[in-house]
């Protein structure tokens, strides 16, 4: 069966790999595919986060190996890693005194002054219980499943997240997050891809650019926009 790689979305991104499957899925099965797509990666990517308003950039290196995603920033140095061996995945940050788990109280804090927060990197919403399959939608001409997840606790800035999962790749094409008043507060979308050849010699695609926006829930106006731009992945 045809396989392709697609850098997954959420907060950050990872190349996905799965066989195309036209059979309908339950919401939980779809999210399991998305989670697995992150866990199976083994490569390195470099890129930048860029603030759309100021043009300020933050270099980023993303290492994916042994079901762990490591985000490395410089000047000043910062290391955040997501362990996908646990369920739900566990987000850690390297401090001077050692590696510590990122607490829920930090989930709404922005990383490097960009529109990306710790909850986005944690992927916690991919594990929220009782997801709902709301049907099928198209995003940039790509056929997607629309899955809605609801926050089972009061932790973090999101109450509900709509995840648009590409039916061919199994990767998240777009996500929209809402607060407890059902107002949109965050938006993610893959806007550009690299066309590459995968390690098995088959045609593939990986993330080239992802748009991340924050919104004012009181008037619906966009507050900020960050672009994540990545170079083609280097297979390990």
pLDDT for 21 beyond 60: no
Residue pLDDT, tens place only, 57-108: 999 999 999 999 999 999 999 999 999 999 999 999 998 889 999 999 999 9
Six token digits for residue 22: 């036209």
CA torsion sign, 67 to 120 to 123 to 202? negative
For residue 86, what are the contacts with CB-CB under 8 A and spacing of at least 6? none
Q: Residue 143 and residue 116: Cα distance in Å, rounded?
A: 26
Between 41 and 82, whose confidence is greater?
Answer: 82
Q: Tell me, what's the pLDDT at 24?
A: 61
Average pLDDT, the chain: 87
pLDDT at 230 over 90: yes
Q: Please report the pLDDT score of residue 53 as a whole number.
A: 96
What is the reported pLDDT for 214?
98
Domain extent listing, the chain: 3-17+34-231
The CATH architecture annotation of domain 3-17+34-231 reads: Clam (2.50)
Question: What is the structure's pLDDT at 205?
Answer: 66
Please give the pLDDT value at position 187. 98
Q: Are 82 and 67 in contact (CB under 8 A)?
A: no
pLDDT of res. 14:
38
pLDDT, greater one: 212 or 40: 212
CA distances from 95 to 62, 77, 79, 99, 100 (A): 18, 10, 8, 6, 7
Closest CA to 151 of 172, 165, 168, 130: 130
Q: What is the mean pLDDT of residues 20-34?
A: 80
Q: Which residues contact 117 (CB under 8 A, 6 or more apart)?
A: 11, 107, 108, 109, 110, 111, 157
Degrees, nearest 5: CA angle 34-156-87: 40
Query: What pLDDT, on a 0 to 100 scale, did the predictor assign at position 101?
Result: 97
């Amino acid at each position: 069966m045809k396989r392709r790689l697609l850098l997954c979305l959420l907060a950050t991104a990872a190349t996905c790999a799965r066989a195309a499957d036209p059979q309908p899925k339950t919401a939980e099965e779809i999210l399991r595919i998305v989670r697995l797509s992150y866990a199976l990666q083994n490569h390195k990517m470099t890129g930048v986060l860029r603030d759309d308003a100021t043009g300020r950039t933050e270099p980023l290196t993303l290492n994916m190996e042994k079901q762990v995603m490591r985000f490395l920033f410089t000047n000043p140095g910062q290391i955040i890693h997501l362990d996908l061996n646990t369920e739900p995945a566990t987000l850690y940050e390297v401090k001077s005194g050692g590696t510590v788990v990122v607490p829920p109280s930090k989930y709404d804090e922005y990383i490097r002054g960009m529109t990306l927060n710790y909850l986005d990197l944690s992927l916690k919403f991919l594990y929220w219980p009782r997801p709902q399959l709301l049907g099928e939608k198209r995003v940039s001409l790509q056929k997607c499943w629309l899955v809605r997840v609801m926050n089972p606790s009061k932790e973090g800035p999101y109450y509900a997240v709509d995840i648009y999962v590409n039916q061919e790749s199994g990767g998240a094409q777009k996500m929209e997050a809402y607060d407890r008043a059902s107002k949109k507060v965050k938006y993610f979308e893959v806007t550009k891809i690299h066309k590459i050849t995968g390690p098995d010699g088959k045609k593939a695609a990986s993330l080239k650019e992802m748009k991340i926006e924050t919104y004012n829930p009181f008037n619906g106006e966009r507050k900020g926009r960050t672009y994540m731009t990545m170079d083609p992945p280097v297979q390990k």
